[in-house]
């Protein structure tokens, strides 16, 4: 693995721009992680409920100190990667974004979760081990209601120098493939009932969306843009974007996915501090942070090498955009 320059040290700010905090203290939207992470790792269970929504089986867990978390266990469902949730958290903090809720690996006794699961057929997919435990990602539960951010069709023009694309890659993989294969003159599969996007709801939203696309490319998270932006949430109406549901990333197979390449290629405007943070990202340092997790090792060498490949691809793409359009148009924020 190539050794990179040491990562820059950043300082966290409320609703921070990337490049804000790493060694100075991991934080979620400016609030330190330490107390929440410690509770997620060590506090005992007082209540368990089965999670609602989603294809995979998960559990909402309340702990003795009142902390609540969402436990996403190891399971055979192909897009439910417990390790991706954990790796996304550590990567978010290395980049100084502070948008992924505090997350840690944890083991629960299946006996603590069984009653909440009831007769759910997905129990057969869980990776319950011989000692009766179940490992997975334990994500801090944000207490405030999260708002779904609905931008409308052609919102991607906010993050492009050129006009919107005739076929957007920011949709369900199955719909994107259908659009690519559709004959000319036939209406695209993208939901035509969704109105055309107007102005962003808040001034910084385009910069946040650009950051999110970069982050999802680095993590290989293919599951962001389907279902009327189900996985695109803000902390309160007009609040900062929250990076939830990062479990469909860090694939064990191919490290450069076609859909994710299309999503990166469609992005033409960036926040300079985000790209500075990507440029400074040290994969070896990131790997050492992963080794501090209770369920380490979280990623294998192939996945870490894949992350380095994608880091370089982001920088090459940004450099190409600057050469084509100039810094002032590309580094819009």
For the purposes of burial, counting CB atoms within 10 Å of the CB of 164, is it exposed (0-12), middle (13-18) or buried (19 or more)?
middle
In degrees rounded to 5, what are phi and psi of residue 137?
Answer: -95, 130
- 107's CB contacts (< 8 A; 6+ apart) are 133, 134, 135, 294, 295
CATH 3.30.200 domain position(s) in the chain: 27-143
Q: Which residues of 65-84 are buried (b: 16+ CB within 10 A; e: fewer)?
A: eebbbbbbbbbeeeebbbbb
Adjacent-strand bridge partners of 108: 134
**pLDDT at residue 78, rounded to an integer:** 72
What gap in Å lies between CA 249 and CA 247, rounded to an integer? 6
**Given this model, what pLDDT does residue 142 score?**
96
What is the torsional sign of CA 62, 66, 67, 68?
Answer: positive
Residues of the chain with pLDDT under 70: 1-24, 183-193, 227-228
Tokens 């299309």 identify what position?
A: 262
DSSP class of residue 271 equals: -
Residue 208 CB contacts under 8 Å (≥ 6 apart), including other chains = 240, 241
Identify the helix (H) or strand (E) that includes residue 133.
strand 133-140
DSSP secondary structure of 42-54: HPPEEEEEE--SS
8-state DSSP, 284: H
Say if CB 46 and CB 58 are below 8 A apart.
Answer: no
Class of domain 27-143: alpha beta
Q: What is the Rg, in whole angstroms, of the alpha carbon atoms belonging to the chain?
A: 20
Contact indicator for 20, 98 with CB cutoff of 8 Å: yes
> 211: number of CA atoms within 13 Å, CB side?
29
């Amino acid at each position: 693995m190539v050794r990179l320059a040491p990562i820059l040290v950043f300082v966290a700010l409320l609703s921070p721009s990337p490049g804000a905090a790493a060694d100075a203290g991991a934080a979620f939207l400016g609030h330190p992680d330490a107390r929440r992470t410690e509770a997620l790792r060590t506090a005992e269970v007082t209540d368990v409920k089965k999670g609602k929504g989603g294809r995979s089986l998960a559990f909402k867990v309340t702990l003795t100190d009142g902390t609540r978390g969402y436990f996403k266990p190891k399971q055979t469902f192909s897009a439910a990667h417990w390790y991706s949730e954990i790796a996304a958290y550590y990567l978010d903090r290395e980049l100084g974004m502070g948008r992924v809720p505090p997350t840690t690996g944890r083991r629960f006794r299946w006996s603590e979760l069984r009653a909440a699961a009831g007769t759910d057929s997905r129990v057969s997919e869980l990776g319950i081990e011989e000692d009766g435990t179940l490992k997975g990602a334990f994500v801090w539960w944000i207490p405030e209601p999260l708002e779904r951010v609905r931008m409308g069709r052609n919102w991607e023009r906010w993050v492009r120098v050129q006009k919107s694309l005739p076929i957007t890659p920011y949709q369900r993989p199955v719909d994107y493939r259908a659009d690519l294969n559709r004959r000319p003159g036939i209406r695209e599969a993208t939901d035509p009932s969704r109105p055309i996007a107007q102005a962003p709801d808040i001034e910084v939203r385009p910069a946040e969306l650009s950051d999110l696309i970069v982050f999802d490319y680095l993590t290989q998270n293919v599951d962001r843009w389907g279902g009327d932006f189900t996985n695109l949430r803000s902390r309160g109406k007009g609040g900062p974007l929250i990076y939830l549901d990062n479990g469909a990333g860090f694939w064990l197979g191919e490290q450069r996915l076609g859909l994710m390449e299309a999503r990166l290629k469609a992005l033409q405007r960036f926040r300079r501090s985000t790209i500075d943070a990507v440029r400074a990202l040290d994969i070896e340092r990131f790997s050492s942070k992963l080794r501090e997790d209770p369920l380490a090792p979280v990623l294998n060498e192939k996945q870490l090498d894949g992350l380095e490949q994608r880091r370089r691809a982001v920088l090459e793409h940004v450099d190409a955009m600057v050469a084509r359009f100039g810094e002032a148009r590309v580094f819009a924020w």
